[in-house]
Amino acid sequence: MSDAHKYNFVCEHVEETSQMTKEFLLTVYSKGHGIPNELSLYDTKSKRLFLKRGVYDQDGAFRLEDLFIGAEVTVCARKMKIVSFADKPTEAFFQKSAGQVYTVICGNAMAQLGDYFLAAYETGFTIKRVKTLADAGEMAVHLELVGQGADVWQEVTAQVADSAIQTETSGPASEKVFARKDSSAIFEGCSLCIIRPHAVREGKTGLVINAIMEAGLQISAMQSFVLLKSQAENFYEVYKTVLPSAQYSAMITELASGTCIAMEVRGEDVVPRLRELCGPFDIEIARHLRPSTIRALHGRDNVHNVVHCTDLPEVWKASQNGLMFSLLCGLWQWFLQKEESRRERRMVLLGVDNAGKTTTLEQLKALFGLKAMAPERIPPTIGFNIGRIQIDKVIAVFWDLGGHASFRSVWHNYYPEVQGVMFVVDSADPGRLEEAKRTLLEVIDHEQLKGVPLLCLANKQDKPDAMSVQELSRFFEFERLFSDRSFHVHPCCALQGQGLEAAVRWLLAEADKFERKL
């Protein structure tokens, strides 16, 4: 196996449930054109091999051109974000084709939009991100590519059309554009077309765009996404009872395998027209009955059929209202949820001193867009701190109470009308676990906290000697001692803010249920 070229990358993987970030060394072994690339993963924290060398497709060939700083690749259903090159030879090899180019297509150039995407693929550029904005009433396509650099891309675009387009090396300006929350989407009288990840990788984006525009339909918005598997499951949920289970699972895996591009498409009778243009879902039927459709011409099988569009009659109305596009954009609640006044939920943030309570509060503030104290400047809590944090439509009020033994006797003054208890444990300090357990039992036994949901944060999980969630659960005897309420033990690293968002969202959801019972 020594005949392969070896390339090393530092990657990060965020656990979907705990939101903890783990670092891996990704090694890719390339034997040349036509031979599948192999890879392996090494866990840098535990210093052990995580995935042995082998061929692991991300629903398609694992390609060298998809590997660049900031790229997200899928390995065995795990999203890996490449954060740096791990050695000089890898950096030297990939820097030749790792120039990141930011380009804006607008005005007269929009007529050749699909041709620009085709030219990018044909000259070795990879789509990193795409997004449309509407400034001064004119839609513009903001496109970020990875390839041979801005000079080469300018030469390529000059051959596509006479219309000049803005091109520069990616930098702070492009970051600001892609960080913007707005888009050119109209969310009315529209349908959704998604170019699937396999089609984006195979350079078919331009073909789909050209087909839509040549059919007399208008693309009013487009944006690239890299979906988690749970997000893909959410999106495809309506198809769960319609398709065979194996095909349904494969579709979810494919949609979460890399970058997809969602387009808001408009025009008269847009839903049936787009459906006709895409063709039957089944590739064989498409080739026999609708041979000129997108799926018949460019699809491989029923999972890799190039595009998703509104196939089911029961979601036509949602598509026409813009719901399907907005769902993928993360704005679907704007359509589904009734306007309701913001609710307030009161939480006590408890634990023995030095467990990390105040650090937890400050990091929660930062996570939800509030000004927060830097971790290194946080002093021990003398008395209490208050944090009011808006999380979606809820105002979460946190009472961070000093954990020193002399202050615990007044904690009960803050229990009235509390809907949640957040108890922080230093999982890397076994010498104080017995004290923490006694303290928690005293808290939970209080009459005013009867049945109140409990979130136990297993803090400092970044330390090598930290106890696991399972070990802490056994030590605290949660199943036996806290069966009268909802409880959850969640791993976190408050210093880095890891795991906190998922944890607090669980507590807020349980606080809502508790409030409704009263």
Q: Which segments are annotated as binding site for Mg(2+)?
A: 358, 381
Binding residues: 351-358, 381, 403, 459-462
C-alpha 325 chain-centroid distance: 17
439, two tokens: 């303290």
255, two tokens: 């949609």
d(CA 501, CA 498): 8
Q: What is the CA radius of gyration of the chain?
A: 26
Of 376, 347, 354, the residue nearest 459 (C-alpha): 354
d(CA 330, CA 236): 15
DSSP character at residue 36: P
Q: How many CB atoms lie within 10 A of CB 159?
A: 9
159, two tokens: 């051959």
Sort strands 420-426 and 343-350 into parallel, antiparallel or unpaired: parallel
In the three-class reduction of DSSP (H, G, I as helix; E, B as strand; rest coil), residue 152 is classed as helix
d(CA 180, CA 178): 5
Helix or strand (DSSP H, E) at 144 = strand 138-147
194, two tokens: 């998604």
d(CA 386, CA 398): 6
Binding residues for GTP: 351-358, 403, 459-462
Q: How far is CA 96 from CA 70, 92, 120, 144, 460, in A?
A: 16, 7, 16, 17, 41
| Residues 386, 397 contacting (CB under 8 angstroms) | yes
